[in-house]
Amino acid sequence: MLTKLTQLKNHSGFMRYLQNTSWMMGEKILRMFVGLFVGIWIARYLGPEQFGLLSYAQSFVGLFAAIATLGLDGVVIRELVNNPAQRDKLMGSAFVLKLIGAILILPLLALAVQFTSNDQYTNLLVFLIASATIFQSFNVIDFYYQANVQSKYIALANTISLGISSLIKIALVLNEAPLMAFACMVIFDSAVLTLGLIYFYKKNSPLKLVNWVFEIQTATYLIKESWLMMLAGAAILIYMKIDQVMIKEMMSDEAVGVYAAAARISEAWYFIPMTIANSLYPAILNAKKVNEELFYDRLQKLYSLMVWIAIIIAVPVTLLSDLLVTLLYGNPYIQAGNVLMIHIWSGVFVFLSVANDKWFYSLGKPGLLALKVSVGAIANVLINYYFIPLYGIYGAAMATLISYSISVVFSDLLFISLWRLFKMKIKAILLYPLIISLMKKNEM
């Protein structure tokens, strides 16, 4: 073992990915604890009704967030890895496209709110939060650092943004600020993070924003490669955000607040698969260049790692759900305990989904991914429509769990080309513990 550890320590590629993952993981863990602490404080201060209204506005905007990203994230990272010489054209073109997408969200939201029961105050919250997407156009800097396995600078920018934001939010709570102030903080957070990314981009590299070039040919290529991913992203956001929107329309703001409290605890862990997958994505792409079996071997290991991290998280949270909710949010949110007990198991499929998406990015099959997640989105809406009137917020949690499993795993059965992935996912979920158990019996 010592020999193996020494070999890994001397392996420059391994150490590079380890350091990159460590920076990303460290920042996300800090964000989870600080963000959860401040978020809980805000939720206790606002109460279920106002917290529910804020959560609803964020979820409603989230339904349209795919338009702002245009599905470019994975495509731009892939192109930066494969064509580093085209860096400035790729980043400049992606920035302009994302900016256009962010601006397009506003008129679409203006149309969408006409089909809701929102009052003017709620619509104002929605548009304030939506304005923050303008700043997210600068996330192309994030793509550059991901492609070059240099997430240290992303982590530093996020940490500074988190610290400033948390202090201001605490001050708002202590000074009994209105709900609108917390909606404005969404814009502030995005602006501060953007400034941080720009600072590190200019300070720690010879690169400059003024070197970015918008090229029609490059932009056209990116749109051609990413539009199906945008559709897939839209479907993913529907089945991740529609539950809170439907709860408000079919129940109340207070019900949204209780449900959102459980969802915040459940979703707090989602940074783990994103951090691991984003850090290892270049390694998976490089494996594809070597041979197919190495590629699938690494993908299987990633599947298994994701599933069992999710299960390790879900078991104690399930057992302690009522206690966690009472300690963190207080008695007004007591019903969130049973919601959390169900919702936390959705994480198994979310973790697996993040790893699974890399297959579609690597093989250039966004159409299949769009079809899969569309099946999940339709299932989520239909199950929510049936379950919420019957079981309330618990029904929404069950709809989330069922639709995630359909989208991530069982929809593979609809496509022959995905049957291998289906077997790999089932192996990750069921076969490994069985093998370990049999090995232990043989040893005895």
pLDDT in tens, 20-54: 566 666 667 777 778 778 888 999 999 999 999 99
Length of the chain: 444
Give the pTM: 0.80
Count of the separate structural domains present in the chain:
1
List, as own/partner pairs, every contact residues 199-208 make where C-beta atoms lie below 8 angstroms and the sequence separation is at least 24, other chains included: 199/157, 200/141, 200/153, 200/156, 200/157, 201/141, 201/144, 201/153, 204/153, 207/87, 207/144
Residue indicated by tokens 């020494």: 6
Query: 280 lies in a domain?
Result: yes
Query: 7 lies in a domain?
Result: no
Query: 28 lies in a domain?
Result: yes
| Domain residue limits at 385 | 16-443
Query: 9 lies in a domain?
Result: no
Query: 186 lies in a domain?
Result: yes
Query: 6 lies in a domain?
Result: no
Q: Is the pLDDT of residue 14 over 60?
A: no
Paired tokens of 270: 């989602």
pLDDT in tens, 114-157: 888 888 999 999 999 998 888 888 888 888 777 776 677 777 88
Neighbours of 111 (CB within 10 A): 8
Query: 1 lies in a domain?
Result: no
Query: 10 lies in a domain?
Result: no
Give the model's pLDDT for residue 354: 83
Question: Residue 39's closest CA among 257, 320, 276?
Answer: 257
Identity (one letter) of the amino acid at 305? Answer: L
Give the model's pLDDT for residue 204: 67
Identity of the highest mean pLDDT range in 10-19, 203-212, 244-253? 244-253
